[in-house]
Structure 1
């Protein structure tokens, strides 16, 4: 691969990153907290690529070989195709089918902070899973909460799930809450990957090792919602 092709690859990689930042599609790959680092990385790549291209243009004659002709590195240009596709052909965010369940490791019990005040505060699904498995204060007991997630049909009924990422899509895992009660019948009527907002209470003692620490929620209200722009939980 010629030096000119290498420089163009570097430039296009930086521009592709910048396009993903502007369009917001970087959220399909990494968590929002990495935005500042991606901005810096895109700026550095574009700057280095431009500097290298300008340098090569000013020293164009130096690329001629002894026979007075130029190399034709057309094969190297094929590498531009996948880089461009990353920016302009955006794959969807991971769904339940592209993730694995969280590893079954008994969490250490500890005191969690109180739930937000209100009749049925909105709590993230991964937090509910952790509270049900490890909260020594039993903050979920007797409290109605609101969860959002997508439907997952199982042989024993329907679950509400969220894809959780710690850093990027490579470490994505699936968090689930099993639905029961009258609202579960409504949820079962929706196909997989339907986004719902549900209200209910976590059944005390329903999270244990045998079921992979998947708590059960007695659901009283179910509402279908639009798929959010950012489907991941953190």
Structure 2
């Protein structure tokens, strides 16, 4: 690859990153907290790319003035997949693309109290962790509201959410088993249907034999629109 092609690749990577930041599609790859670092990286790459390309164009002009022929940039084909990243964005991971969370025996500790209210909204990963490790048993007897997508399996249906720590490469699937009369309504929806569910976590349902996946007795099921950012953190 010629130096000119390398500089164009550098510029295009920076521009592609900037486009993803403006469109918000970077959230399909990384967590929101990395936005400032991505913005700085895009600015640096674009600046270096522009400076390098301008320098190469001046050098090429000087070579032509002295009668030298510049070889064609045969590596330009490499620019096509890089450009496509900015305009053809893969969807965010769903249940098919994330691996089930591998949970070892958690260290029990005190969690903060749940929000006040009859059925406060709680993140699904937080519920999974509370059910497995909360020494205060904050979920006991409390109705809560969870939002996630349906995951069917041989034994029934789960409510799931893809959790990422840093980026999509470390994505894992957090799940809650659904039971009770209203769970039948959830099971009627196909995989990856987004639902808002109210109910209570069954005490003692999170254990090592089932990978610390708790069970929720469902009292209400409401279909909701797929959120713009489908990941949980």
Q: What TM bracket, shorter-length normalisation?
A: over 0.9
In the alignment, the residues of structure 1 paired with residue 182 and residue 160 of structure 2 have an alpha-carbon distance, to the nearest angstrom, of 16
Residue of structure 2 equivalent to 1:32: 32
In the alignment, the residues of structure 1 paired with residue 63 and residue 219 of structure 2 have an alpha-carbon distance, to the nearest angstrom, of 73
Correspondences of 1:28-67 after superposition (within 5 Å): 28-61=28-61
For residues 90-115 of structure 1, what are the alpha-carbon distances to aligned partners after superposition, in whole Å with 9 as ceiling and x for unaligned? 10000111111111301100000000
- For the 8 Å contact 2:182–2:221, the answer to whether it is kept is yes
For residues 137-174 of structure 1, what are the alpha-carbon distances to aligned partners after superposition, in whole Å with 9 as ceiling and x for unaligned? 00000000000000011111100000000000000000
In the alignment, the residues of structure 2 paired with residue 154 and residue 10 of structure 1 have an alpha-carbon distance, to the nearest angstrom, of 45
Give the TM-score, by structure 1 length.
0.96
For residues 46-93 of structure 1, what are the alpha-carbon distances to aligned partners after superposition, in whole Å with 9 as ceiling and x for unaligned? 0000111111222224556x983211122x101101101111101000
In the alignment, the residues of structure 1 paired with residue 92 and residue 170 of structure 2 have an alpha-carbon distance, to the nearest angstrom, of 13
In the alignment, the residues of structure 1 paired with residue 171 and residue 2 of structure 2 have an alpha-carbon distance, to the nearest angstrom, of 38
Residue of structure 2 equivalent to 1:175: 174
Residue of structure 1 equivalent to 2:9: 9
Gaps of 5+ in 2: none
Residue of structure 1 equivalent to 2:209: 210
- CA displacement at 1:5 relative to structure 2: 1.1
Q: Does 1:187 align with 2:186?
A: yes
Residue of structure 2 equivalent to 1:19: 19
In the alignment, the residues of structure 2 paired with residue 102 and residue 22 of structure 1 have an alpha-carbon distance, to the nearest angstrom, of 31
In the alignment, the residues of structure 1 paired with residue 4 and residue 73 of structure 2 have an alpha-carbon distance, to the nearest angstrom, of 9
Do the aligned partners of residues 129 and 80 (structure 1) sit closer, same or farther apart at CA in structure 2, a change above 3 Å counting?
A: same
Q: Does 1:140 align with 2:139?
A: yes
In the alignment, the residues of structure 1 paired with residue 208 and residue 174 of structure 2 have an alpha-carbon distance, to the nearest angstrom, of 14
Residue of structure 2 equivalent to 1:98: 97
In the alignment, the residues of structure 2 paired with residue 162 and residue 104 of structure 1 have an alpha-carbon distance, to the nearest angstrom, of 15
Residue of structure 2 equivalent to 1:219: 218
Q: Does 1:111 align with 2:110?
A: yes
In the alignment, the residues of structure 2 paired with residue 7 and residue 100 of structure 1 have an alpha-carbon distance, to the nearest angstrom, of 38
In the alignment, the residues of structure 2 paired with residue 159 and residue 68 of structure 1 have an alpha-carbon distance, to the nearest angstrom, of 68
In the alignment, the residues of structure 1 paired with residue 63 and residue 7 of structure 2 have an alpha-carbon distance, to the nearest angstrom, of 14
- RMSD after superposition: 1.2
Q: Look up the SS of the partner of 1:93 in the other structure.
A: coil
In the alignment, the residues of structure 2 paired with residue 181 and residue 26 of structure 1 have an alpha-carbon distance, to the nearest angstrom, of 38
Higher mean Cα deviation, 2-11 or 115-124?
2-11
Gaps of 5+ in 1: none
After TM superposition, the runs of 4+ consecutive aligned structure 1 residues lying more than 6 A away are none
